[in-house]
């Protein structure tokens, strides 16, 4: 599958979907939106330190949204010949409801200033043979450098495709994309000793970029597995935790960002309601959303509703500036239009959220965090649970260390409990250095204070 | 469909497996006095798996025509040949298997087809409206009904030839309560394999809703428990999470071969005498367990697999490939989520066999501990270290349940926790039929058991 054939398919589909929308309108179905997501991918998987499977998949999914008399019906299908019947089914689903809300409506089109066709021609000629070669190289790294690390599973993928949105209001937007990605999951094993699971991944939009990032990710994975292999239980203590970028993003930040979702706010489930332009976090913390940076993977010119995206501040030195809205939630909040923050794809109704979060670097050196006096818990990953409404989180630390007197002591069977909203004010320092997660979001290290750390051994 | 698939295989000589899968998911959600979303998802296609030159190849197509399927077979074969040179440990021949032959039509499908969209919408709306009136502290109550109907046909060149269908409805309520700036949430859900009547057999929709709302409101006045190693009595939903996360994942044979903590432990003691653990494609004790399957995704009839018998590890969970490697019979545990997914070894219904005690005796016999109820999420590790999250923890002091505390994360080492089991109740319940298990791809599973007393690490203040 090359760029030309994908473009040809896209052109044909624009025509097909426009025709279907026109037909629906002429039959009295006034508000129809079709979101098409096409992907062709080739994958090579690893299992048990060996190659496992080679696959080739191709699929076109369509998310069809119909709004009729204040009610909405949504159909997801991968069957092109019956798309018009799906429009009728979505219409019928909408008509069967008895609780209309006339704030529901498809958005009017807006011009899209940024177009991101992230399809690099270096991926055009690549295929499954290249993926097999990359997999072979990774198995070689494992054998040469990390013989005590067992690869439980791994995946190498080359995917190409497009997204396209067409609506009866005149919205029409599309973007092409191609991506190379790889991930690996496994653990250290030494005789009867088994370490915690760990994983790492890399992705890129061109061949050279991908290979550099993948080698770094694999080395990181191997080091983390080896570090966790000789972990020991510890006794509990009160103190500081150090979060690397992945942990900052996946756990601590997720709850806060979720609380800025227009739907959560409207339903009274967000602790951030009514806090615009108030200080809600440490002055050290500044966050913005930037889906318009061409250097980032996943940058996009339009959102799930086909409206333009933009760069916007979220927190500046702890002061909250914005919430995230799709068209419906914006209207419910009394705004004229959305702020281009509709999330999702063909398989979901438009949600609300950011596209590419960026966290401002701090002024501390990451290395200083590892040499702090007293005890600090380095949280590689939290396997746990979190509650969006209360902000409470708790979990087991995976691949973690206690940092004490310049030593890194790998630990297991350690839990932490906290609250994401309180944690925003527990930030003691942010590092200058950070990582570009998924090649799209810059996230630094964070040092937090005031945590209860539960261990399994007696004090 | 079986005939079309067999026609596509007519000229094939090596191992080829064709899996037709049509899946329809409907979901209805009501909140704040109105139907907030209705969705229907339809996905159909064929997954093609071949074993050639000692390596798997896989391809899929959403076009159900002879030419598309035959093209996918060729793509899968090419993929297998390409990778064969690299694969070190070639896949042996697949073992003989207890293939499912014929049609297997699931229970409750007629029920699911005859109930109208309006009836399902009315259910979520009525329950939501009633729930919101339960307490002035309730900020928001969401009520959802969903159902997955699926049909599959599996045909292989070595003898599988079946068509099967099933329906899996779910009902869930989630509530958020607020007081003095504090917010807490509660949720309760139920999911089965079967019809509507099966879904509401043990609890009505109203009772489910009342439980979720009460949890949210009650938790407003709760505090965190003390953290540390504690004696706990686990409710059947929590036992389900424990046996699924802590043990089930470690005995999946693909995971065992990668070096899980269960490797090499067949025949060894891994739990107390009171522990007998099974994973079954059927629904033991009573019908409707959410992970029941008439046929697995390699076309085999599933078994009831005894994993631990009176504390001794007796079996892993196998697909055809791992069964051959271990020299045992496949357990019918291969499952794929969608037509484009390769079948993986997955649990079905995982349960602990009931014992002789009663819950009342167990509480009365506990001087200092916690009663944990309301399963949330959970995960397991290669080390056997697991975590699961609970909604509610009740303090037990001197044989009596006292304060409600916030549920937190509970963790431990799988086999240590089983070794510490010292009381098991007579009562039994399937209680994990809603939601999904993740392992690269989702799977519908269920789990449950009796009430169990053991020791775990409780996160807390």
The per-residue pLDDT for range A302-318, each reduced to its tens digit, is 999 999 999 999 999 99
Shortest CB distance from A77 goes to which of B42, B58, B184?
B42
- Cα B242 from Cα B448, distance rounded (Å): 9
- Rounded to 10 degrees, what is the CA torsion of B82, B84, B87, B89? 160
Shortest CB distance from B259 goes to which of A135, A150, A269?
A150
Spell out which residues of chain A touch residue B142, defining contact as CB-CB under 8 Å.
267
For A181, other C-beta atoms within 10 Å of its C-beta total 21
pLDDT of residue A250: 80
Query: How far are the Cα atoms of A65, B25, B39, B170, B437 from residue B149, in angstroms, in the given order?
Result: 22, 6, 14, 12, 18
Token pair of A192 as six digits: 């009867």
Residue of B nearest to A153 (CA): B258
Say which residues have a Cβ less than 8 Å from residue B18's Cβ, sequence separation at least 6.
Answer: B5, B8, B9, B46, B47, B48, B69, B73, B153, B154, B155, B156
Give residue B18's Cα distance to chain centre.
25
Stretch among A75-89, A116-130, B129-143 having the lowest mean pLDDT: A116-130
Sheet architecture: strand order including A319-320: A319-320, A312-316, A287-289, A357-359
User: Looking at per-residue confidence, does B413 or A456 come out higher?
Assistant: B413
- Tally of helices (H runs) and strands (E runs) in chain B: 11, 24
Pairing between strand B437-438 and A351-352? unpaired
pLDDT of residue B459: 85
Evaluate whether A381 touches A316 at the Cβ level (below 8 Å): no
Cross-chain Cβ contact B56/A52 below 8 Å:
yes
Each residue of B146-157: pLDDT tens digit?
999 999 999 999
Cross-chain Cβ contact A96/B140 below 8 Å:
no
Its ipTM equals 0.92
Each residue of B299-314: pLDDT tens digit?
999 999 999 999 999 9
- Cα B355 from Cα B427, distance rounded (Å): 8
pLDDT of residue A439: 85
Q: Mark A272-311 as b/e (b = at least 16 C-beta within 10 Å).
A: beebeeeebbbebbbbbbbbbeeebbbbbbbbbbbbbbbe
Q: Report the share of chain A in percent with pLDDT over 70.
A: 100
pLDDT of residue B112: 86
Shortest CB distance from B383 goes to which of A129, A139, A412?
A412
Q: Are residues B200 and B278 in the same domain?
A: no
Spell out which residues of chain B touch residue A139, defining contact as CB-CB under 8 Å.
86
What are residue B18's DSSP bridge partners? B48, B155
Cross-chain Cβ contact B56/A54 below 8 Å:
yes
Q: Where are the domains of chain A?
A: 3-226, 230-250+361-455, 261-286+301-354
Each residue of A197-229: pLDDT tens digit?
899 999 998 888 899 999 999 999 999 999 888
Closest approach of A383 to chain B, Cα-based (Å): 7
pLDDT of residue A458: 57
pLDDT reading at A405 higher than 90: no
Which stretches of chain B score pLDDT less than 70? none
Cross-chain Cβ contact A76/B413 below 8 Å:
no
Q: Are residues B88 and B203 in the same domain?
A: yes
Spell out which residues of chain A touch residue B60, defining contact as CB-CB under 8 Å.
55-59
pLDDT range class, residue A253, cuts 50, 70, 90: confident
Closest approach of B356 to chain A, Cα-based (Å): 31
What's the CATH number where B111 sits?
3.30.2290.10
pLDDT of residue B125: 96
Last residue of a domain, one of B200, B220, B240: B220
Q: Are residues B110 and B38 in the same domain?
A: yes
Spell out which residues of chain B touch residue A153, defining contact as CB-CB under 8 Å.
258, 440
Residue of B nearest to A397 (CA): B387
Last residue of a domain, one of B188, B220, B252: B220
pLDDT of residue B382: 79
- Burial label, A112 (beta-carbon count in 10 A; 0-12, 13-18, 19+): buried
Domain of residue B212: give its range.
1-220
* Strand stretches in B32-137, DSSP E: 34-52, 55-61, 101-105
Spell out which residues of chain A touch residue B441, defining contact as CB-CB under 8 Å.
none
Closest approach of B73 to chain A, Cα-based (Å): 11
Q: Are residues B399 and B419 in the same domain?
A: yes
- Cα A217 from Cα A203, distance rounded (Å): 10
Shortest CB distance from A78 goes to which of B44, B83, B227?
B44
Each residue of A309-366: pLDDT tens digit?
999 999 999 999 999 999 999 999 999 999 999 999 999 999 999 999 999 999 999 9
- Cα B127 from Cα A432, distance rounded (Å): 52
Evaluate whether B372 touches B455 at the Cβ level (below 8 Å): no
Q: Are residues B164 and B286 in the same domain?
A: no
Spell out which residues of chain B touch residue A415, defining contact as CB-CB under 8 Å.
227, 387, 409, 411, 457, 459
CATH fold, domain A3-226, is PmbA/TldD fold (3.30.2290)
pLDDT reading at A367 higher than 70: yes
Q: Please, what is the average pLDDT of chain A?
A: 93
- Cα A438 from Cα A203, distance rounded (Å): 7
Q: Are residues B304 and B404 in the same domain?
A: yes
Q: Are residues B449 and B321 in the same domain?
A: yes
Shortest CB distance from B176 goes to which of A60, A90, A389?
A389
Last residue of a domain, one of B161, B195, B220: B220
Rg (CA), chain B: 23
Cross-chain Cβ contact A96/B379 below 8 Å:
no
Say which residues have a Cβ less than 8 Å from residue A234's Cβ, sequence separation at least 6.
Answer: A402, A409, A411, A414, A455, A456, A457
């Amino acid at each position: 599958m090359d760029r030309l054939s994908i473009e040809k398919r896209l052109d044909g589909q624009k025509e097909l979907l426009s025709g279907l929308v026109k037909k629906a309108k002429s039959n009295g179905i006034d508000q129809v939106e079709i979101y098409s997501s096409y992907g062709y991918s080739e994958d090579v998987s690893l299992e048990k330190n060996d190659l496992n499977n080679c696959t080739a998949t191709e699929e076109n999914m369509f998310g069809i949204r119909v709004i009729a008399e204040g009610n909405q019906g949504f159909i997801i299908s991968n069957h092109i010949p019956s798309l018009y019947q799906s429009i009728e089914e979505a219409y019928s689903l909408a008509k069967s409801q008895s609780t209309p809300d006339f704030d529901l409506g498809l958005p009017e089109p807006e011009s899209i200033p940024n177009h991101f066709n992230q399809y690099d021609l270096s991926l055009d000629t690549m295929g499954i043979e290249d993926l097999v070669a990359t997999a072979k190289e990774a198995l070689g790294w494992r054998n040469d450098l990390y013989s005590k690390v067992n690869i439980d599973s791994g995946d190498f993928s080359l995917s190409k495709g497009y997204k396209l949105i067409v609506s009866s209001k005149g919205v029409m937007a599309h973007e092409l994309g191609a991506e190379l990605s790889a991930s690996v999951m496994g653990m250290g094993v030494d005789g009867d000793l088994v370490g915690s699971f760990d994983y790492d991944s890399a992705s890129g939009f061109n061949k050279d970029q991908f290979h550099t990032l993948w080698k770094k990710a694999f080395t990181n994975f191997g080091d983390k597995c080896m570090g966790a292999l000789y972990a020991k239980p510890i006794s509990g203590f009160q103190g500081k935790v150090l979060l690397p970028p992945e942990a900052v993003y996946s756990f601590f930040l997720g709850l806060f960002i979720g609380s800025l979702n227009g739907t959560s706010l409207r339903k009274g489930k967000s602790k951030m309601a009514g806090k615009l332009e108030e200080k809600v976090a440490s002055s050290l913390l500044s966050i913005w959303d930037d889906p318009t940076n061409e250097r980032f993977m996943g940058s996009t010119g339009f959102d799930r509703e086909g409206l333009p995206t933009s760069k916007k501040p979220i927190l500046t030195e702890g002061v909250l500036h914005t919430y995230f809205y799709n068209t419906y939630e914006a209207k419910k909040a009394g705004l004229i239009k959305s702020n281009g923050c509709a999330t999702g794809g063909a398989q979901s109704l438009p949600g609300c959220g950011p596209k590419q979060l960026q966290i401002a670097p701090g002024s501390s050196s990451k290395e200083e965090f590892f040499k702090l006096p007293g005890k600090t818990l380095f949280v590689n990953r939290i396997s746990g649970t979190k509650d969006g409404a209360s902000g409470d989180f708790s979990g087991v630390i995976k691949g973690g260390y206690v940092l004490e007197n310049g030593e890194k002591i790998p630990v297991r069977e350690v839990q932490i409990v906290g609250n994401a909203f309180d944690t925003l004010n527990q930030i003691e320092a942010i590092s200058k250095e950070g990582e570009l997660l998924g090649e799209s979001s810059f996230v630094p290290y964070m040092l937090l204070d005031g945590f209860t750390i539960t261990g399994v051994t007696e004090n | 469909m079986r005939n079309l698939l067999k026609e596509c295989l007519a000229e094939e000589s090596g191992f080829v497996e064709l899996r037709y899968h049509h899946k329809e998911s409907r979901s209805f959600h009501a909140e704040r006095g109105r139907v907030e979303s209705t969705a229907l998802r339809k996905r159909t296609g064929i997954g093609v798996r071949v074993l050639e030159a000692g390596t798997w190849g896989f391809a899929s197509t959403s076009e159900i025509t002879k030419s598309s399927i035959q093209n996918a077979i060729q793509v899968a074969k090419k993929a297998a040949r390409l990778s064969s040179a690299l694969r070190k440990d070639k896949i042996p021949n697949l073992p003989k298997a207890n293939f499912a032959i014929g049609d297997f039509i699931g229970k409750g499908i007629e029920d699911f087809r005859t109930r109208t969209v309006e009836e399902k919408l009315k259910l979520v709306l009525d329950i939501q409206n009633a729930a919101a009136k339960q307490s002035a502290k309730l900020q928001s109550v969401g009520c959802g009904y969903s159902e997955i109907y699926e049909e599959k046909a599996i045909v292989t060149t070595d003898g599988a030839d079946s068509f099967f269908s099933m329906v899996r409805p779910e009902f869930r309520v989630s509530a958020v309560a607020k007081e003095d700036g504090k917010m807490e949430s509660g949720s309760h859900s139920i999911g089965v394999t079967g019809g509507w009547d099966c879904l509401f057999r043990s609890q009505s929709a109203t009772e489910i809703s009342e439980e979720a709302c009460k949890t949210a409101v009650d938790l407003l006045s709760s505090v965190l428990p003390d953290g540390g190693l504690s004696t706990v009595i686990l409710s059947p939903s929590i036992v389900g999470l424990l046996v699924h996360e802590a043990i089930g994942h470690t005995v999946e044979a693909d995971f065992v071969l990668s070096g899980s903590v269960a490797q090499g432990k067949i025949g060894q003691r891994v739990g107390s005498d009171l522990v007998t653990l099974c994973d079954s494609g059927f629904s033991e004790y009573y019908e409707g367990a959410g992970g029941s399957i008439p046929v697995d995704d390699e076309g085999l009839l599933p078994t009831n697999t005894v994993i631990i018998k009176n504390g001794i590890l007796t079996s892993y969970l196998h697909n055809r490939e791992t069964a051959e490697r271990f020299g045992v019979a496949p357990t019918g545990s291969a499952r794929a989520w969608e037509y484009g997914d390769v079948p993986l070894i997955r649990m079905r219904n995982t349960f602990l066999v009931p014992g002789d005690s009663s819950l009342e005796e167990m509480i009365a016999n506990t001087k200092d501990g916690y009663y944990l109820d309301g399963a949330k999420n959970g995960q397991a590790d290669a080390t056997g270290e697991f975590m699961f999250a609970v909604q509610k923890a009740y303090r037990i002091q001197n044989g009596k349940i006292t304060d409600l505390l916030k549920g937190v994360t509970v963790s431990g080492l799988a086999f240590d926790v089983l070794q510490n089991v010292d009381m098991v109740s007579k009562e039994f319940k399937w209680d994990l039929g809603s939601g999904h298990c993740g392992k690269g791809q989702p799977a519908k599973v269920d789990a449950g058991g009796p009430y169990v007393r053991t020791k775990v690490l409780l996160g807390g203040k």
